[in-house]
Amino acid sequence: MIGMPGTPIKDEVFSDVRVRGIGLAESRDRIMKISSSLEGETLRVEISGEVEVESCRCLRNFWELRVAGKRRVRLDLSDIDCADAEGTAELLRLIVDSARSGMMLEVEHAPQVLAHSLYRTADLTEPSNLSLVEPREEEPYA
């Protein structure tokens, strides 16, 4: 149980967002999962699944409740399957705003489009509150 004395808040899954996708041929569920755990003084946040503008509303709420005000955050994006343009823009705003507020933010395995946008819009020169760790390279088309 979360919140019981002596029970660590580790690997807690905050959200499982399901958004019904509507298309001509078929519809399917799109899911984003957000989890967090504490590693020493660093809060580790993992996002997996599909990043879309609808799911980013939940991400922003999670960020405000669990992450805002933390000094050091490691954001792991290695399990993001897909990110649409609006979702990428929302994630970019969240990352840049957090770094500008003074949070030391490490972004691991950012999708290529997000990493490119961060290089263009954020201050990644030393010293900086924001750093990219092993951003993904453009994946070949299947």
Residue type, 116: H
- Cis omega before residue 127 (within 30°)? yes
- How far apart are alpha carbons 83 and 67 in whole angstroms? 21
Tens of pLDDT, residues 3-61: 334 334 444 444 444 333 333 233 345 688 999 999 999 999 999 988 888 788 888 89
Per-residue pLDDT of 79-131, as tens digits, reads 988 788 888 899 999 999 999 899 999 999 999 888 888 888 876 766 688 99
Please state which CATH number belongs to domain 33-133. Answer: 3.30.750.24
| Domain range summary for the chain, segments of one domain joined by + | 33-133
